[in-house]
Amino acid sequence: MAVMARNLWRVTEPFHQLAYRSPEAVAAYQAIGLQAAPHQYFASRLAAAGEVTHGVAVALLFGFAPVYVAQAVPEVWSIVDAESVVEARTRGADTTLKRILGQTWNGAEIERANLIAQEMIASLSFAGKPMAAAQNDVAQPSEPGLQLWRACTILREYRGDAHWAATAAAGVDAVECHILHAADGAMPEDLLQRVTGWKDSEWAEAKARLSARGLLHKDVNDLRITPAGEEVKLLIERSTDSGSSIPVSIVGEKKTEELISLMKPWVAAIMDADVIGAWKMREQLWRDLPSEKNV
């Protein structure tokens, strides 16, 4: 069940990510007055939850530096209302996926994948899953393809909520989590710091805390995770799998495998189109089965 939950994330994450960074999505945000990249990302990520305050945004997103979030929230809500952002996000995803998938976007396989995905989310409880709950409250589109995209976003945020809960429960904070990720070789350290907005001083202090707890090797010039750090990361990922496995249990492993199998070629097409920004650096993860360690 754990591996199945993780592989479900592997096919839903790229569908979710393209709504931020594809040329069509960026154009849709620019058309409603969102010109700056932070405005586009944070507005589109948060709009389903409404015009939230800065403090709520930081709490919901967990891993971003508060000062970085402040580049967009709450200012962005003086530029455009949340409902318009949700509509722009949907338009951007629709035009992107129609371009990438062509006739497949209206085909029988999309309809079948959508049926399974809708069954997964229909009876989900969103208690303790605020980002997923917000996406679930977004109106259901009329086209099966867009319905599938919405379901993928709900499922992705459902796992994301579980991941941050597991991270916090393990005693790892909003900057330390990225350093452990980089130390484990998942993504480059400089990229993770840049896209999450943490200052050099905050990053260095977090490294020192992790080293003091025995989770990183003490040489600050050689970012390497210790066996104890690997255990913490593994605990977080196993807890994430456990906290996001209910959609799999609702439909069963056979239907989940069918959904994953249907979606893998579409994920490959998204990778080929290069529309998910920095996440493309983890391309092998989306194309191939992950190990338990490196997710």
Q: pLDDT value at position 58?
A: 98
Q: What is the mean pLDDT of residues 201-223?
A: 92
Q: Is the pLDDT of residue 143 over 70?
A: yes
Q: Is the pLDDT of residue 233 over 80?
A: yes
- Residue 222 covered by a domain: no
- Residue 223 covered by a domain: no
- Residue 53 covered by a domain: yes
Task: List pLDDT tens digits, range 77-112.
Answer: 999 999 999 999 999 999 999 999 998 988 999 999
Task: List pLDDT tens digits, range 242-287.
Answer: 999 999 999 999 999 999 999 999 999 998 898 876 555 555 554 5
Q: Is the pLDDT of residue 241 over 70?
A: yes
Instruction: Tell me the pLDDT band of 172, cut-offs 50, 70 and 90.
Output: very high
Domain encompassing residue 96: 1-169+231-285
List, as one string, the DSSP characters of the chain.
-HHHHHHHHHHHHHHHHHHHHSHHHHHHHHHTT--SHHHHHHHHHHGGG-S--HHHHHHHH-SS-HHHHTTTTTTHHHHS-HHHHHHHHHHHHHHHHHHHHGGGGGSHHHHHHHHHHHHHHHT---TT-HHHHHHHTSPPPSSHHHHHHHHHHHHHHHHHHHHHHHHHHTT--TTHHHHHHHHTTSS-HHHHHHHHT--HHHHHHHHHHHHHTTSB-S-TTS--B-HHHHHHHHHHHHHHHHHT-HHHHHH-HHHHHHHHHHHHHHHHHHHHHT-SGGGGGGHHHHHSPPPSS--
- Residue 197 covered by a domain: no
- Residue 139 covered by a domain: yes
- Residue 81 covered by a domain: yes
The torsion of the CA quartet 241, 246, 249, 252, rounded to 10 degrees, works out to -80
Q: 165: which residues sit within 8 A by CB, 6+ positions away? A: 128, 239, 243
- Residue 280 covered by a domain: yes
Q: Is 289 exposed, middle or buried (0-12, 13-18, 19+ CB in 10 A)?
A: exposed
Q: pLDDT value at position 295?
A: 45
Closest CA to 95 of 150, 19, 164, 170: 19
- Residue 175 covered by a domain: no
| Number of domains the chain is built from | 1
* Residue with tokens 């994920």, as numbered in its chain: 267
